[in-house]
Amino acid sequence: MPIRAVRERFLWRMRAPMSPGEVRRVERWLASARVFLAVSALVAVWMEPAVIHYSIWAFGLLAFYIAQGMIIIIFLRRRQRSTASFRLLVHTGDIIWPAVISIFAAGGSNPFFLFFVFVLAAAAYRWGLLETVGTAIAAVALLWLESFALHLGFIAWIDGVLHHYALPALQVDTTSFEPKSLFMRSISLLVLGWLLGFLAEQQKQLRAEKVVINRMLGTVRVEAGLSGTLQDIAGEFLSMYGAQRLLIASHEVDSHRVFVAELCAKPGSFRWLEPRREDRAIYLHDSRTATCYVERKAAHQADRFSMLALDQDGAHMEDPSADFLSSFTRIYDFHSALVESFAFGKEWRGRIFLLDPKLTNETEEELHFLQELVRQVAPAVYNVLLLRRLRLRAGAVERARFARELHDGAVQSLIAVEMQVDVLRRQSASRPELMPTELGRIQGLLREEVLKLRELMQQMKTLDVDSKRLLGVIHDTVDRFQRETGISARFVSDLAELQMPQPVCRELARIVQEALVNVRKHSHARQVLVRLGAKNGNWKVEIEDDGRGFPFEGRLSQHELESMGKGPLVIKERVRLIEGELTIESNPGRGSRLEITVPQPQGAMHG
């Protein structure tokens, strides 16, 4: 059924304008092609001069065109930007020149017809469908004007003037400008212009859609959290479709509670709505429709809506039902709406509602793109949810470990000290010779607990570290460990400089801290080596000691550690947060080595 369009047809092209660098690059390619084509035509004429009846004027025009092409190439190399007026001027010359020189060429072997193809391709490269068809119409109009001029005797008049001044005649060929042959040439130019313009429009639309998807994915950030990410994505949707209001409704599959967020174009505030019992019926009523565009019909018509819908596979649905929107339409006042379903893994389901959006004439194409856009963005948002959940889990594990450390360490030690002081107080009168020895032992115990508390405080501090500070932070951590424990420790870096995301820097620094704490507590090591390097597109951190090792022998991957329930829990959680891989090699009685491998993002640089 027809859906009224309220946006111009070619809006997609306007959403992804070419950058100045891309424009300049296109102009350079066109300039090179122009000169190559002109030189090729000159060679063809030289091989068969009869093509242009040995006309000196045709040779002059061809030489002028080659010189113009060289000047354009030089100009583009000297100038950093190509202005719109300059491109229009060059394009106008490209339209006029083949029309003028074609009057010299014989119809059956005209070598200059390719210049019409070139100017149509140039319009398609620079702009799109309308401009390419317009170029074809302009070229056809020039050819017909020349035909009329020939039949009105204008060329004969010019030949008379040239003869009067003793100049060579034009020697034009009028056979190509007879109505029959000119008609077929005009039709071929128009059809070719339409096809090239259509292909250019399709390419520019695909490019624009790619830019939109990349821009939308760029708003997905773990640091912003789920609410911040949804707010940024909702703002992009609202701006892209020019809608007045956007609603996001979602629910966990195993839960009955529905979460609804709203963003209005004015004043542009993102807020979560108060939950209601009827939210599921209003926003998430079951339906086979995955994506749809609905419009309210006129009040006098029986049916309330016209609707264009796609199912989960993107197939057009015949006679879709709008019953699943009946409760929604009673609450919200709108003329038209876009509705898109989404899923976050197998846990979350939801719908996006865009009220009063502005669409192009190709409504079904817009629905297909919206469906593809949401399918591309949804996994990225789900990853944010999982990473935030994983980070919370890691934080909970760490807090539980801190509580256990305090309970099993400092609290128990202080209770023991309190009991020993009480015993010492009672024996002080009867056995004073025990006082120095017992006080020294208590002092050593307190020193050990102070060291443990300092380590806990260090781990609880917010660690602000980036790629510029990471090497220094790890070096200071290893030095402090050596000073406080007396264990020989050394840090070696194979990298002079590195570009590493801040979350990865923070987690690697925490992993090194945690590993050194474990060495002090459990390994009875005398030497520790920490190494940072890069290999095969991965960052690699190694912590090696000569202590008593883990209670297993051999080399285990993270998957094997998880399945066997072995390895340091906190380090495993932190490695998982940065999508790394933990490998532990243990030789009981001879030491152990931890290897943490983290994949580098594309384009990461290191020295």
Residue 304 CB-density burial (10 A; 0-12 exposed, 13-18 middle, 19+ buried): middle
State which CATH number among 3.40.630.40, 3.40.50.720, 3.30.450.40, 2.30.30.110 fits the domain covering 225-388.
3.30.450.40
How far is it between the farthest Cα atoms of the chain? 144
User: What's the confidence (pLDDT) of residue 302?
Assistant: 41
User: What's the confidence (pLDDT) of residue 300?
Assistant: 44
Distance CA 355, CA 271 (A): 16
Distance CA 10, CA 200 (A): 12
Question: What average pLDDT does the chain have?
Answer: 80
CA angle (523, 526, 529) in 5-degree steps: 85
**Each residue's pLDDT tens digit, 97-111:** 888 877 776 555 566
One-letter amino acid for residue 86 of the chain: F
Exposure class string for 88-123: b at 16+ Cβ within 10 A, else e: eebbeebbebbbebbbbbebeebbbbebbbbbbbbb
User: What's the confidence (pLDDT) of residue 3?
Assistant: 33
Domain 462-607 has CATH 3.40.1360.10: no
Strands (DSSP E) contained in 525-590 are 527-535, 538-545, 554-556, 581-587
Distance CA 439, CA 435 (A): 6
User: What's the confidence (pLDDT) of residue 16?
Assistant: 59
The residues spanned by each domain of the chain are 11-215, 225-388, 462-607
User: What's the confidence (pLDDT) of residue 432?
Assistant: 72
User: What's the confidence (pLDDT) of residue 50?
Assistant: 61
Is-above-0.85 flag for pTM? no
**Strand ranges of the sheet holding 527-535, from the earlier edge strand across to the other edge:** 488-493, 527-535, 538-545, 591-599, 581-587, 554-556
Using DSSP, state whether 150 is helix, strand or coil. helix
User: What's the confidence (pLDDT) of residue 537?
Assistant: 85
- pLDDT less than 70: residues of the chain: 1-18, 48-55, 105-111, 163, 169, 171-176, 223, 267-268, 298-303, 394-395, 398, 401-413, 423, 428-429, 433-434, 447-464, 602-607
Q: Considering only CA atoms, which of 423, 529, 425, 510 is closest in space to residue 464?
A: 510
User: What's the confidence (pLDDT) of residue 6?
Assistant: 32
